[in-house]
Amino acid sequence: MTDKTFSAGRHFLQIPGPSNVPDRVLRAMAQPVVDHRGPEFPALTNRVLAKLAAVFKTVSPVIIYPASGTGGWESALLNTLSPGDKVLAFETGHFATLWKNVAVKLGLDVTFVPGDWRHGIDPALVLEKLAADSTHEFKAVLAVHTETSTGINSRIKDIRDAIDAARHPALFMVDAVSSLACSDYRHDEWKVDVTVSASQKGLMLPPGLCFNAISEKAIEASKHSKALHSYWRWEEMLTNNARGYFPYTPGTNLLYGLDEALNLFDEEGFDNVLARHQRLAKATRIAVDAWGLENLCLNADEYSNSTTAVLMPKGHDADKLRLAILEKFNMSLGMGLGKVKGTVFRIGHIGDFNDLMLMGTLSGVEMGLNLAGVPHQKGGVQAAMEYLAEN
C-alpha cells in the first residue's frame, strides 16, 4: 500500500488560533441544548458574564455575539461612530490592515499610519498625531494589542498614556483577539473604551463568539451614533443581558464551553495562565535563536506570548517548509499573511498548551528545517528544553 490515508497519533495544531480545545470544554459543549428563553438560562448568562469581565479586568459590561472577531470589530465601530468620522489607525500587520478595511467599508475616514510589520505602535507617534489634531477631528484610535500575523505586541498602556498626554478625547479601541488570557490586559486600568476579542484563541474555544468590553464613555457615544445597524446594537444586548437573556438566539453550547473554560482559568489561577504563556513563548524564542533564525519582532519589549513569527533565510519558502512538516510530522504551523506570506512561519503557543506540547512542536520544526534543507544550526530543541527545566 502506497497511499497514506491514516496518520497515527494526534495532529499538532500549532497555528496561532483557532487553538486546541480542552477535553473538558468539548464535553461541556456536548450538553443538550436548553431553552434560551427559559427560567434556568439567566444563571448561565450571569455566571459567564461575571467571570468573563474578570478576564478583561473590567467592571464595565462585556457583550457576547455569535460571530468571529471580525464581527467584534464591526460592532465596536458601528455602535460608537458615524459615517464620515475620522479614525486614527496603525499598520502593524495583516489584522490591523483588515480592521482598517472594515472601517473604510463602513464609511469612516481612516488615517492609516504606515508600519514595517516588525514593530508595534510607537506611542510617541500616537502623541504626535493627536497633538497635531487641535480641533479633535479624530473620533477614535484603533490599536491591535497582539498582531497575530507578526507575533508583535503593541504597548497598550503606553498608547493610553500618549492619548492622555495629548489631552485628546478620542475613543480608544483595542483588538485583544490574540492577547486576551495570554498576555496582561487591563481594560479599566488602561482606560480602553472598547476591547474586541473572540473565543478561539486564549479562551480555548472553537470559533463562534466575539466580545466587546465597553466603557461608560463608549456607551454614551453609542447613543449618538448615526450608523445604521440592527444586529450589532449594544442597547438591546445590554437591556436583555440585565435580565439574563439575549435579544436573539445565542450560541448556547459555546456558552457552555466558555463557562467551563473560565472554570479552568480559576482552577489554574489566572496569573499562572499568563505566566505559563510567557514562559512557553520565551522557550520558543530561545529555540529560534539557537537555530540561528530571526524573529520577525525586533523589539524585545513587544514580544508576543501568543505566537512567534520566524523569518526564513533568503531563498527559502516558508510555505514549502510548512507543507513538509505537515506531510511528514502531521503538524500545522501558521502561514505568513499579507506582506510576509512565504517569508515567515508562525509557531502558536496559545491556549491549552504545556511544556511537553511545546517540545513536540519545536522538535517537529527542527526536524522539518533539516528535512527541507533550510540552513540552520542544530540544538534549538535542546536549548528550549534546558530553559524549561531550569524555570
Q: Amino acid identity, residue 83?
A: P
Is residue 353 predicted with pLDDT exceeding 80? yes
Q: How many CA atoms lie within 13 A of 227 on its CB side?
A: 27
How far apart, in Å, are the Cα atoms of 175 and each of 84, 98, 185, 213, 373?
Answer: 22, 11, 11, 11, 37
Domains annotated for the chain, with CATH where assigned, are: 12-19+269-390 (3.90.1150.10), 23-266 (3.40.640.10)
- CB-CB contact of 108 with 137 (8 Å): no
355: left (phi over 0), alpha (psi -120 to 50) or beta: alpha
- What gap in Å lies between CA 158 and CA 282, rounded to an integer? 23
Residue 8, pLDDT score: 85
* C-beta separation of 355 from 279 below 8 A: no
Instruction: Report the C-alpha gap between 304 and 57 in whole angstroms.
Output: 19
pLDDT tens readout for residues 77-104: 999 999 999 999 999 999 999 999 999 9
Q: What are phi and psi of 389, to 5 degrees?
A: -65, -30
Mean pLDDT of 309-336: 97
Select from 290, 273, 307 the least CA-distant residue to 178.
307
The type of residue at 179 is S
Strand spans (E) along the chain: 12-14, 62-66, 86-90, 109-113, 138-144, 146-147, 152-153, 171-175, 194-198, 209-214, 294-295, 307-311, 331-335, 344-348
DSSP 343: T
Tell me which amino acid residue 262 is.
L
Please report where in the chains the cell 431553552 appears, as a residue. 35
CA 129 to chain centroid, in Å, comes to 26
pLDDT at 342: 96
Residues facing residue 52 across a β-bridge: none
Nearest of 286, 327, 284, 283 to residue 308 by alpha carbon: 284
| C-alpha cell recorded at residue 167 | 489631552
Tell me the pLDDT tens digit for each residue of 274-314: 999 999 999 999 999 999 999 999 999 999 999 999 999 99
Question: For residue range 164-206, what is the model confidence (pLDDT) as tens digits?
Answer: 999 999 999 999 999 999 999 999 999 999 999 999 999 999 9
For residue 251, the model assigns a pLDDT of 95
Taking only Cα atoms into account, the Rg of the chain, rounded to an integer number of angstroms, comes to: 21
The whole model's pTM is what? 0.96
- pLDDT (tens digit per residue) in 48-82: 999 999 999 999 999 999 999 999 999 999 999 99
